[in-house]
């Protein structure tokens, strides 16, 4: 279900941008139209995205190369107590930005 691609327009202090995101990323980003900051648990409840998928989605938005969300505390892993805030200070030289989804780690069973 998270394989669909969406285009969202976002307003940052550095200018308007077009974000090409997955469906899950779009669901999370749209929550920040209503509030500036949300804890992980509220995002999980509001989106109803499976835990592992939500953690990967938030990593791609807050810990990747294009950080349109800010995470507190700042770390690579997503924990239940983390809080997320829309990054108004986000800048990028291009107008259209593709935010890649972090791939799930696969384990090989023998």
Q: Has residue 78 got a pLDDT over 80?
A: yes
CATH number at residue 78: 3.30.230.130
Instruction: Note the pLDDT of residue 47.
Output: 96
Residue 61 lies in a domain: yes
Q: Which domain holds residue 51?
A: 5-98
Over the stretch 5-31, which tens digit does the pLDDT of each residue have? 788 888 787 778 888 999 999 999 999
Alpha-carbon dihedral sign for residues 43, 14, 63, 104: positive
The beta-carbon contacts of 101-107 under 8 Å, at least 24 apart in sequence, are: 101/2, 101/22, 101/24, 101/25, 101/56, 101/57, 101/60, 102/56, 102/57, 102/59, 102/60, 102/64, 103/56, 104/52, 104/56
Whether 93 maps to a domain, the answer reads yes
Tokens of 90: 């986000």
pLDDT-above-90 percentage for the chain? 53
Please tell me the total count of domains within the chain. 1
**pTM > 0.85: yes or no:** no
User: Residue 70: inside a domain, yes or no?
Assistant: yes
């Amino acid at each position: 279900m998270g394989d669909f691609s969406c285009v969202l327009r976002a307003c940052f202090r550095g200018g308007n941008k077009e974000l090409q995101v997955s469906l899950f990323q779009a669901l999370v980003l749209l929550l920040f139209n209503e509030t500036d900051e949300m804890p992980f648990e509220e995002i999980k409840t509001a989106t109803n995205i499976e835990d592992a998928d939500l953690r990967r989605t938030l990593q791609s938005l807050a810990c990747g190369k294009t950080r349109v969300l800010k995470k507190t505390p700042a770390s690579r892993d997503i924990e239940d107590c983390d809080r997320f805030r829309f990054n108004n200070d986000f800048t990028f030289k291009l107008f259209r930005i593709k935010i890649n989804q972090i791939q799930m780690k696969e384990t090989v069973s023998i």
